Amino acid sequence: MKPGPERVVVFQEAGLFPWLTVLENVTYGLKLKKMPKEEAKAKALDILKMVHLSRYVDSYPHQLSGGMKQRVAIARALVMEPDILLMDEPFSALDEQTRMVLHKELLEIWRKTKVTIFFVTHNIREAVQLSEKIIVFATRPGKIKETISVPSMKDGVMPDSVTLHTEQRVLSILQEEIEKVLKEEMGNDYSFKTNHIHRDDSGDMGSHI
């Protein structure tokens, strides 16, 4: 399945056109759909309001911060009203604080628009914080290894006992894969020791003693 106007992709880098203003960037796809100018503008302004960028409508991308650019990219995708929004590690180039804010905003957008989001990430915490369902992939060949449902729906910022537990589960599933890759890269005698400290649900080490 190829990306297209019904299945829009948000890339790792925002990929905004530097020669267009924020508004023009957001209406780029709508104009391609031959939507009348006024209608496209009204729609774009609506979406930009949703990602809290109303004040930067006429700015150029080089005047925005990384997080803002990524928000414009999300707005540009959402304005197309896609059936499914594909996000390919969209926040991995951002700093931790910005990412947290964007997690929260993404969840808000998701609740408002009810769009299906397909989110690819290497960050386990990010996956757990944002998703209802996590699909863990194996290394080459990239097959689905396991599908996990995340029971609680969170605010996307604070981990709680459920998400921590899910994180541990994902990590333990991935451990085998990590081992496989490391053995491929460093030789068979290498072993990825499982000596990291597992946290209890309560978050206190040694609470079970």
Where on the chain is the footprint of another protein (CB under 8 A)? 3-5, 8-9, 11, 13, 15, 17-19, 28-29, 32-33, 60-62, 80
The residue among 66 and 159 lying less far from another protein, judged by its C-beta, is: 66
Q: Nearest 5°: CA angle at 125, between 127 and 181?
A: 85
In angstroms, the Cα distances linking 114 to 81, 106, 134, 140, 146 are: 10, 11, 18, 33, 25
CA distances from 198 to 79, 167, 193, 204 (A): 43, 11, 13, 10
Q: Beta-strand (E) ranges in 66-165?
A: 84-88, 116-120, 133-137, 144-149
Q: How far is the CB of 99 from another protein (least distance, A)?
A: 20
Token pair for residue 7? Answer: 């299945």
By beta-carbon proximity to another protein, the closer residue of 17 and 118 is 17
Nearest-approach distance from CB 17 to another protein, in angstroms: 6
Shortest separation between residue 136's beta carbon and another protein, angstroms = 26
Taking the least distance from each CB to another protein, the nearer of 60 and 192 is 60
Type and span of the H or E element at 106: helix 96-113
CB 67 → another protein: shortest distance, Å? 16
Report d(CA 35, CA 40) in Å as an integer: 6
Instruction: Tell me how far, at minimum, the Cβ of 50 lies from another protein, in Å.
Output: 19
